[in-house]
Amino acid sequence: MKHRVVTLIRIVINYLFAVGLVAHANADSGLRMHGAGSTFVYPLFSKWFSVYQKERDQTLINYQSIGSGGGIRQLIDGTVDFGATDIPMNEEQLKKASREVYHFPVTMGAVVVTYSVAELTSELRLTPQVIADIFLGKIVKWNAPEIVALNPGLALPARYITVVHRSDGSGTTAVFAEFLSKTNPEWKEKVGTGTALQWPTGLGGKGNEGVTGLIKSLKDTIGYVELTFALSQKLPVALVKNPEGEWIKPSLESVLVAAANMLRTIPDDFRFTITAAQGSGSYPISGMSFYLLDSRLKREKLEKWNESLKLLRWMLGAGQEYSQALHYARIPKPLSEKMLRRLTDLEKVRK
């Protein structure tokens, strides 16, 4: 008995040593970067980081998809080396960080309006006004004159609309609400913009899956999900009228156009949103996802700072090739060139 216990303890100690040595070896051979934030970018980031690690086996990157808000919080607290968010940090958050946090838009997505009505055979067309009225609970039936006027050819049933929204705080909600706030004064005043809202009507589903689950199982429903999710699940999506008066189908191309049309108005700190973008061909409910580069690294962990700059260069260059296959929109060339110039400036400062 005693002998066995001793053997067991020996095995455990050996095991711990082995694990320790492996970890030690890894720590020796390269850099470990920790990031946290947006769940939206997670599939793309995992792809990116696994490829990047293979190409440069010195660096291990660990990304926790805990949500944009959580990512910003952890970045401010200094517990991660980089963050990722679907909404740029606001003044209050920047003040709390009390140091420079550089925003780099690295990929794009969009929010689509999806629905489930048995009678509908072709795509629904909706204006920002009608979307707002439905989500405000002012338009309650599918055959309301406002909807019929936009969709003369469709057989719209005389049944009640069930609105489905995200119940969990989410960047998707923030992009959707920002679009409605920009286009509809009543929405702006009554509901406003944020990751979590006080919804005037409807049911809440957790995550894109939860919303889609409710939409599909309840019928006569309308809700919003991420474009990537809608594309991979082949959900029906509504065409939305953009500020130019065109009917735009959400797609990777129309999102890219929205960003390209905004280029001239992009501020120097790259903190911007592209909802309700002016210009022909833009899908109006598009959004940017940002990589947050912490200036603290420059002072405290120079090695990680240098590596971050290299990583960003790679993300904006070779990394963009992986977007399409995963249903993310590419960053328009002029924008990535502008960011690369910024990176060059940052590299100079260090020397």
Least distance (Å) between residue 177 CB and other proteins: 8
> Residues 237-266 vs other proteins: string with x where CB under 8 A?
------------------------------
List the 247-248 sheet strands across, edge first: 125-126, 239-241, 247-248
Task: Tell which one of 51, 60, 156, 196 touches other proteins (CB under 8 A).
Answer: 196
Least distance (Å) between residue 70 CB and other proteins: 5
Measured from the CB atom, the residue of 68 and 308 that comes closer to other proteins is 68
Measured from the CB atom, the residue of 105 and 205 that comes closer to other proteins is 205
- With CB under 8 A, what is the number of residues at the site for other proteins? 35
- 191 scored as a contact of other proteins (CB under 8 A): yes
DSSP state string for 199-249:
-SS-EEESHHHHHHHHHHHHSSEEEEEEHHHHHHHT--B-EEE-TTS-EE-
Bridge partners of 165, per DSSP, are 204
Determine contact, residues 124/241, Cβ cutoff 8 Å.
no
Using CA atoms, how far residue 263 sits from 5, 333, 336, in Å, is: 69, 10, 11
Measured from the CB atom, the residue of 202 and 250 that comes closer to other proteins is 202
Q: Angle 252-262/333-350 helices, nearest 10 degrees?
A: 60
Measured from the CB atom, the residue of 67 and 319 that comes closer to other proteins is 67
Among 226, 243, 282, smallest CA distance to 109 is for 226
Measured from the CB atom, the residue of 73 and 125 that comes closer to other proteins is 73
- Alpha helix locations (H) across the chain? 2-29, 42-55, 68-77, 91-97, 128-135, 145-150, 171-183, 185-190, 207-218, 227-233, 252-262, 296-300, 302-316, 333-350
Determine contact, residues 71/85, Cβ cutoff 8 Å.
yes
- 204 scored as a contact of other proteins (CB under 8 A): yes
Evaluate the CA torsion angle 342, 343, 348, 349 in order and state its sign.
Answer: positive
Least distance (Å) between residue 330 CB and other proteins: 26
Which range touches other proteins (CB under 8 A), out of 5-13, 150-158, 185-193, 243-251? 185-193
> Residues 84-123 vs other proteins: string with x where CB under 8 A?
--------xx------------------------------
Write the single-letter amino acid at 80: V
> Residues 56-85 vs other proteins: string with x where CB under 8 A?
----------xxxxx-xx------------
The residues that touch other proteins, with contacts defined as CB under 8 A, are 66-70, 72-73, 92-93, 160, 162, 167-171, 191-199, 202-206, 210, 213-214, 217-218
